[in-house]
Amino acid sequence: MSRRLLLFAATSCLLSAAVDVHAQERRGGFTPPPVVISPEVAADQTVTFRIYAPKAEEIRLSGDLGNLGDAGNLVQGEQGVWEAKAGPLAPGAYRYHLVVDGVATVDPANPATSESNGNSWSLLIVPGSEFCDVRDVPHGALAEVAYRSETLGRFRRMHVYTPPGYESGEGAFPVLYLLHGAMDSDDSWSTVGRAGVILDNLIADGKAKPMIVVMPHGHTGPFRFGPPGENSFERQMRDFAQDFANDIRPHIERTYRVKTDRGSRALAGLSMGGAQTLDIAIANLKDYGYLGVFSSGVFGIAGGPFTAGGPSWEERNAAVLDDAALKDDLKLVWFATGREDFLLETTRGTVKALEKHGFSVTYDETDGGHTWPIWRDYLRDFAPLLFQDD
C-alpha cells in the first residue's frame, strides 16, 4: 500500500463525523463530496458564496448583506454545488445565512460564526478598512468571562477586551461598558462589531487611550419579540439594569485593574443597549463620566414604539435630570443615529428632552439605518473622545 493510500485510509475514518457519507453509501459506492470554498472574497470585494446541497430546490442569502435582489439567489452548478456572487461589498463584517429551502443555515464551509439573540450566523469579513482590519499593531485580548449574577441566581457570560500589555500586570485602566442590541448577544460587539480590532487600531494610532471594554449580555432570559409576559422587554430591561449595577460592574471593579473615578467610567450601547445605557446611567449619574447612545433613546419618549402608560420618563427622573451638580463632571453625552433609522424620532426626542434639562449633548445624524456598519463607525468616533483627561 503506498504512503499516499495509507494516509488516506487512516484519515478517512476521522472524517466520518464531518461528511455526510451515509446517504451516498445507501445509493451504493462512496463518492467524496466536492471541496467547497466559501465565502471567497475577490480583490474587487465581490464575494462568492457556495454550498453543496444536491437535493435543494431553492437557496438564497439572507442577513446583513442588504437587498441583493437576484444576486441573493444561489444557482445550482455542477456536482450539486450552488453559488452566488454578491457585491462589491463595503469593507467590514457581515452576518449571513444560506437559506436552504426555508431553513436558515450557517455556511458549512465557513468556520467563523457570530452569536446573536438565540441563534448563530456565519461571519464574513471583507478587508479594506483602515479601522476594522486586523493590522500589524499590538493586539489586546478578548476574553469570555463567567461572572456570578446574584440578581439572576446563576452564572452569566460577558466578553471583556483588555488592551495590549494588560497581561503583564502593569497599570490600571479606564473602562468602557458597551451594550448590544436586541438582536444580539454579548458576542456580537466583538464579532460583527469588531470592537477589539477597532480598539487595537485606535490605540495603536494614538487616537484612543488604552481602555478595558466590557461587553455584557443584555438579555436576561430567552428573548423573543412578542406580547409582554414573563420575559417581556420591560422585565428584561429592569432585570438587566439590576444585574449591571449589582453584579457586572462590581465583578469588573473587583477583578480587573481598573480606575474607579467617575472620569474613568463610560457607558454606551446601541439600540436596546442605548435605552439600557440611559436607564442605568440616569439612575446613577454620579458614577458615569461618559455616555454614548447609538441609534436609540428613551423608548416611547416621542410617542413612538414602546410607549408606556403612567408618569413620563422626564417626570420619573426629574430629580436627577434637574440636578445641576450632577452635570459638573459629566464629560460627554454623545448621541448619533442614522437618518433612515426607525427609532429616529425616539433619538431626537431624547436629545431634546436632555437639552431641555440642561444637558450638553453632542449629537450627529449620519447616512444609513439601524445596522452594524453604522455602529462600528460610531465606536470608532466615540472611543477617541473618552478618558483623554486621564
- Binders of a copy of itself among 182-201, rule CB under 8 A? 182-183, 185
Task: Please select the residue that binds a copy of itself; options are 29, 69, 206, 227, rule is CB under 8 A.
Answer: 227
Q: Is position 104 an interface residue for a copy of itself (rule: CB under 8 A)?
A: yes
Q: Which of 340, 191, 213, 224 minimizes the C-alpha distance to 265?
A: 213
Stretch that binds a copy of itself, among 61-69, 236-244, 259-267, 320-328 (CB under 8 A): 61-69
Q: Which of 29, 168, 206, 325 binds a copy of itself (CB under 8 A)?
A: 168
Near a copy of itself by CB under 8 A, which window of 40-48, 139-147, 202-210, 310-318?
Answer: 139-147
Regarding 116 and contact with a copy of itself (CB under 8 A), the answer is yes
Q: Which is nearer to a copy of itself, 10 or 324 (CB)?
A: 10
CB of 275 within 8 A of CB of 302? no
Q: How far is the CB of 133 from a copy of itself (least distance, A)?
A: 10
Decide whether 113 or 284 has the Cβ nearer to a copy of itself.
113
Is the CA virtual torsion 310, 273, 301, 335 positive or negative? positive
Among 105, 231, 362, 366, binds a copy of itself (CB under 8 A): 105
Q: How far is the CB of 115 from a copy of itself (least distance, A)?
A: 5
The CA distance from 315 to 188, in Å, is 34
Judged by CB under 8 A, does residue 11 bind a copy of itself? yes
DSSP string for residues in 63-117: ETT---GGGGB-EE-GGGEEEEEE-PPPSEEEEEEEEETTEEE--TT---EEEBS
**Site for a copy of itself contains 67 (CB under 8 A):** no
CB atoms within 10 A of CB 374: 21
Near a copy of itself by CB under 8 A: residue from 76, 85, 128, 139: 139
Cβ contacts of residue 319 below 8 Å, gap of 6+? none
Give per-residue burial for 216-253: e unless 16+ CB within 10 Å, then b: bbbbbeebeeeeeeeeebeebbebbbbbbeebbbebbe
Residues 289-318 that bind a copy of itself (CB under 8 A): 304-309
